[in-house]
Amino acid sequence: MIGIKLLGAGMYLPPKIVDNEDFTKIVDTSDEWITKRTGIKRRHLSEGEYTWSMGLKAAKNAIENAKINPLDIDMIIATTVSADFAFPSVSNIIQGKLEAKNAFGIDISCACAGFVYGLDMASRYIATNDDVKTVLIVSPENVTKTVDYSDRSTCVLFGDGAGAVVVTAGGEPLYSYLGTDGTGAELLYAHLYPASNGFTDSEKAKENQKAFPNETGRYMYMDGPEVYKFAIKAMPEAMEKACKKAGIKPSDLDLIIPHQANIRIIDTAIKNLGVDKEKVYVNIKETGNISAACIPVCLSQLIEQGKLKPGQKVGMVGFGAGLIYGAAVLTV
């Protein structure tokens, strides 16, 4: 099987930083609660910047890091749950702005597991499509636009930003495991559109939307404790299954990059996996949960810090709305 090689990674975090103390001014919370229950201290918030614009900055950064030309890119996969428009897609806008004329673009919506799904998709296109050798995966997220800043149980968790990577044919195959439990779809969601189209009766429209009620307008709904329970089971399960395909044990991994939703979820999942804590990369304290951007931002930081060494086996694992989960083992 044709493998994939990581050529480079990039990131963009918007300059506005909001710390826990800032939240005590708008909701009934404390730095102590947020730190202890989530591990988050600060997060970056976009100030009206478009999602595609953050993605473009991360993509340019990744292309520079990979030392390629935008014309070398055959495919752009954008993974986001916070696209600016219903159409056109984020990947199409970024393709145009990069002048990556040889690339076609696809957006995928796989919530916080989006980057792992994008990587899996890239490896399969590279393996089976002669036209695709080099792929840009870009994960820009503007999740805070869906956040209700009067809901203390969700607003403290999220930040904005973008991560991107360039992969190309070569090296070891990517080993991945992807899973969905759609019975949990109503545990975490955000509406895209108003209930009514403006012509039909809005009460009737509400009745039709009894599943996924939208009492809070456009905002995110999350049953935190239920998602938490799912995550601490799904993360180790996915990582174990991806490792099994790679013919290794989780403890053989050189590095693990988990989705950064809550430090307690990460600690519990890693304990359940039986992996040395030292091997786990965590940046949640500074970024909060930036959905699909979490893992590629971590990859970019690891490269910047010189911590990614050729030949290392890196495990990546994500979970999120859907409910969705997935893990991949990449040899860098």
Active site residues: 112, 259, 289
Q: How far is the CB of 128 from ligand UT7 (least distance, A)?
A: 30
Q: Are 297 and 163 in contact (CB under 8 A)?
A: yes
Stretch that binds ligand UT7, among 131-139, 169-177, 220-228, 268-276 (CB under 6 A): 220-228
Q: Is residue 176 within 8 Å of residue 116, measured between CB atoms?
A: yes
Residue pair 332/312 in contact by the 8 Å Cβ criterion: yes
Site string for ligand UT7, 274-293 (x = CB under 6 A): ---------------x----
Return the residue nearest ligand UT7 (CB atom): 224
Comparing CB distances to ligand UT7, the nearer of 246 and 261 is 261
Token pair of 188 as six digits: 């975490």
Kindly determine how many residues on this chain lie close enough to bind ligand UT7 according to the rule CB under 6 A: 19
Report CA Rg, the chain.
19
For residue 243, the one-letter residue type is C
Tokens found for residue 287: 């970024």
For residue 16, give every residue at least 6 positions away whose Cβ sits within 8 Å of its Cβ, in sequence order, or none.
44, 45, 46, 47
Quick check: 146 binds ligand UT7 (CB under 6 A)? no
Contact status, residue 30 vs residue 121, Cβ threshold 8 Å = no
Comparing CB distances to ligand UT7, the nearer of 231 and 243 is: 231
Considering the complex, state which of residue 125 and residue 189 has its C-beta at the smaller distance from ligand UT7.
189
Spell out the SS3 assignment of 42-66: EEECCCCCCHHHHHHHHHHHHHHHH
What's the token pair of residue 285? Answer: 């304290």
Q: Which of 62, 84, 81 is nearest to 72 (CA)?
A: 62
Q: How far is the CB of 223 from ligand UT7 (least distance, A)?
A: 8
The answer to whether residue 185 forms part of the interface with ligand UT7 (CB under 6 A) is: no
Q: Which stretch binds ligand UT7 (CB under 6 A): 27-35, 69-77, 169-177, 202-210?
A: 27-35
Interface pick for ligand UT7 out of 24, 153, 180, 283 (rule CB under 6 A): 153
Q: Note whether 224 binds ligand UT7 by CB under 6 A.
A: yes
CB of 1 to ligand UT7, least distance (A): 31
| Interface with ligand UT7 (CB under 6 A), residue from 156, 187, 292, 302 | 156
What is d(CA 284, CA 266) in angstroms, rounded to the nearest whole number? 10
* Choice from 2, 102, 133, 228 touching ligand UT7 (CB under 6 A): 228
If one counts every other C-beta atom within 10 angstroms of the C-beta of residue 282, the result is 17
Q: How far is the CB of 173 from ligand UT7 (least distance, A)?
A: 28
Residues paired with residue 326 on neighbouring β-strands, in sequence order:
178, 318
Choosing from 261, 292, 298, 303, the residue that interacts with ligand UT7 (CB under 6 A) is 261
Q: Does 184 participate in binding ligand UT7 (rule CB under 6 A)?
A: no
Neighbours of 296 (CB within 10 A): 31
Residue type, 170: G
Contact status: 225 vs ligand UT7 (CB under 6 A): yes
By CB under 6 A, residue 50 contacts ligand UT7: no
Query: Rounded to whole angstroms, how far apart are CA atoms 163 and 19?
Result: 21
Name the residue among 118, 170, 141 with its Cα closest to residue 54: 141
Task: Please state the closest distance from residue 139 (CB atom) to ligand UT7, in A.
Answer: 13
Among 93, 112, 253, 298, binds ligand UT7 (CB under 6 A): 112
The least CB distance from residue 169 to ligand UT7, in Å, is: 31
Residues that bind ligand UT7 (CB under 6 A): 29, 33-34, 37-38, 112, 152-153, 156, 222, 224-225, 227-228, 231, 261-262, 289, 320
